[in-house]
């Protein structure tokens, strides 16, 4: 029940739909008094991109897990496989990973190089002031899986290049952020603190090319992790809430791209949560 609640909250599913209703045939049980419950979750994932194909209007179904009464059996039956795009996976973690792989295959290679060349940004001699520009274009296209050069340019033009030094905090845990950061150059860490004692509980090195703060800004939730620069010099590209609202209002296609990026972020969070629950 808790996992279903997390799925509905994290992935925006408001309704739980049964894919396999419970059987009323008592002959399937060795004990007539035995009762079974069927727990089912459905996550509908659709890509609304022109000419992309793939997961359009398809379903990712978490197969029903039959639970026998603890009074008669004393244990749980193993969960059934998870169905994703025509294939079955043994765990929810494997199914979410498959969803991410399918989304990544949608990206069109070469767009970022073409865009960079059209802006005359592909230069051999790069000084410190231009560090990160080419990397930002590559990272933005890879992270958002943009299908056309015009859309990539539209989003990139709304980003603001910022430089930061060691110790600078991009996002603070507990805040509702108003800026999303694309990490481009330098080293960054994400820390989780115990609220009562403010002692560091968890630390993770972040890779360049990822966006941080997306879920907090779009969903207006409190930031769970503190993101900090740990290198002497770093470059990030910032998308403010104002520019995000402008993009969404002016271009529904860009809005869908950002929604997919948010779904990918939430799926990673869900995988991490499931690993902590079942390990």
Percentage with pLDDT > 70 across the chain: 49
Residue 248 has pLDDT above 80, yes or no: yes
Give the mean model confidence (pLDDT) for residues 123-137.
56
Architecture in CATH of 159-278: Sandwich (2.60)
pLDDT score at 229 = 94
Tokens of 268: 């990673």
Q: What are phi and psi of 277, to 5 degrees?
A: -75, -35
Question: Residue 131's pLDDT band (boundaries 50, 70, 90)?
Answer: low
Domain boundaries, the chain: 2-98, 159-278
pLDDT score at 152 = 83
d(CA 127, CA 123): 10
| pLDDT tens profile 205-236 | 888 888 888 888 888 888 888 899 999 999 99
List CB contacts of 128: < 8 A, sequence separation 6 or more: 233
pLDDT score at 192 = 72
Give the mean model confidence (pLDDT) for residues 10-39.
44
Query: To the nearest whole number, what is the mean pLDDT of the chain?
Result: 66
Query: Which has the closest alpha carbon to 144: 183, 119, 107?
Result: 107
pLDDT score at 110 = 53
pLDDT score at 138 = 78
Q: Considering all CA atoms of the chain, what is the largest pairwise distance in Å, rounded to the nearest integer?
A: 79
pLDDT score at 177 = 87
Most confident of 77-91, 171-185, 194-208: 171-185
């Amino acid at each position: 029940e808790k996992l279903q609640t997390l799925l509905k909250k994290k992935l925006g599913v408001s309704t739980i739909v049964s894919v396999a209703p419970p059987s009323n045939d008592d002959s399937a049980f060795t004990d007539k008094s035995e009762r079974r419950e069927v727990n089912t979750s459905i996550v509908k994932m659709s890509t609304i991109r022109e000419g992309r194909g793939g997961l359009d209007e398809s379903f990712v179904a978490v197969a029903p897990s039959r639970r026998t009464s603890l009074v008669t059996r004393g244990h749980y039956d193993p969960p059934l496989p998870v169905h994703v795009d025509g294939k079955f996976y043994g765990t929810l973690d494997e199914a979410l990973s498959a969803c991410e792989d399918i989304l990544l295959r949608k990206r069109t290679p070469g767009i970022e190089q073409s865009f960079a060349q059209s802006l005359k940004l592909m230069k051999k001699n790069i000084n410190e002031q231009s560090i990160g520009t080419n990397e930002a274009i590559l990272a933005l296209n890879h992270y958002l899986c943009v299908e056309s050069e015009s859309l990539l340019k539209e989003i990139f033009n709304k980003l603001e290049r910022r430089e930061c030094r060691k110790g600078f905090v991009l996002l603070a845990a507990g805040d509702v952020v108003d800026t999303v950061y694309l990490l481009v150059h330098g080293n960054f860490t994400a820390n989780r603190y115990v609220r009562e004692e403010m002692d560091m509980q968890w630390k993770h090195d972040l890779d360049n090319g990822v966006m941080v703060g997306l879920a907090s800004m779009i969903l207006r939730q409190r930031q769970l992790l503190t993101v900090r620069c740990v290198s002497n010099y770093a470059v990030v590209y910032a998308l403010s809430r104002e520019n995000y609202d402008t993009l969404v209002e002016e271009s529904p296609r860009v809005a869908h791209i950002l929604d997919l990026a948010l779904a990918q972020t939430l799926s990673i969070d869900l995988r991490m949560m499931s690993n902590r629950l079942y390990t």
